Amino acid sequence: MNTDLMMHIPDGFLSAPTSGLFWLISAAIIVFALRRAEKELDERRLPMMGLMAAAIFAAQMLNFAVTGGTSGHLLGSALAVILLGPWSAVLVMASVVVVQALVFQDGGLLALGANLFNMAVVGVAMSFFVVRIINRLGNEKRWAIMAGAFGAGWLSIFIASLVAALQLAVSGTSPANIALPAMGGIHALIGIGEGLITAAAAGVVLAARPEVVRDQYGKKSEKSIWLVGMLLSVLLVVFAPLASSHPDGLEWVAEELGFMHTAREPLFELIPDYVFPGIGNEALATIVAGVIGVVIVTGVALATARRKSTGKTV
């Protein structure tokens, strides 16, 4: 298995009982989120779910160099919370993580429950906690929104990494006193990048369409945001071949602590490692894979959103 682009926990890192437990927990929370999202979604917000899923998927393909030969990538849960609310953010993150596992073999199928819990549950919960507190303290002023975005981005990465470390420890893969500082230390640095990107993105949206960030949707169509967002997602995919080739935080820790060899081959391969098979030019193959991913993720998120919207009107 090519681990150069590994972003999520692969099969083999976690024990079967741990994987099964987090499958059950994540499934229950996502079902609950499907019901609660009805209160957040309306016809004006539906396109935003597809847009956020596409943008997060595309942005996650762009690993950025951190330090010491490591890299990080955007998680995106904080930005999803800021623009959509917590329950819709859970569904968006779940859509991205599931497509990454099933289509691109990024993260194991047995470990999918743990990856969903870390990114779609813990990442969203930490982001919502920080954003809500700072925005209330600052009365949703610009500085509060920006500070909340940075804090949410950093904390979502840091806490999710600690939860992943505990999952490794419970599985017997790496002792907690070794896994926790290793995962926490590198992801504390990666979280700075997450915070800066989230704050910058929130600042751009705040300047262009403040009603989106401040939850004051008017009656205008959001087609302009949808079009610009999709074009931006495709543009991010075009730059994906320029992403850092350094191992990401989890891969770096696995290599440093000596448990990389426990990673198992995926049960099947469709577009492994974000490279579309049959295309000789690797950069072009990555771009094609990314565009396909954007389309699939958008469709999954929109199908989920429209299902809930339809359910509300019955």
Structural domain contains residue 266: yes
**Are 176 and 257 contacting, i.e. CB atoms less than 8 angstroms apart?**
no
Query: In the structure encoding, which two tokens stand for residue 52, read together?
Result: 């956020």
**Are 272 and 108 contacting, i.e. CB atoms less than 8 angstroms apart?**
no
Pick the closest to residue 80 from 105, 102, 59 (CA basis). 59
Structural domain contains residue 243: yes
At 304, the pLDDT band (50, 70, 90 cuts) reads confident
CA dist 60 and 213 (Å) reads 22
More confident residue, 93 or 70: 93
Structural domain contains residue 10: no
Element (H, E) at 279: none
Structural domain contains residue 11: no
Structural domain contains residue 23: yes
Bridge-partner residues for 71, per DSSP? 65, 248
* pLDDT tens per residue across span 244-290: 777 788 888 898 899 999 999 888 899 988 999 999 898 899 999 99
Structural domain contains residue 242: yes
Structural domain contains residue 8: no
Structural domain contains residue 4: no
The CATH number of residue 166's host domain is: 1.10.1760.20
Task: Tally the domains of the chain.
Answer: 1
Residue that the structure tokens 């160099």 belong to = 65
Q: Which range, of 64-73, 153-162, 199-208, 234-243, averages the lowest pLDDT?
A: 234-243
* pLDDT tens per residue across span 168-207: 999 999 999 999 999 999 999 989 989 998 888 888 777 7
The domain of 305 spans: 16-313
pTM: 0.88
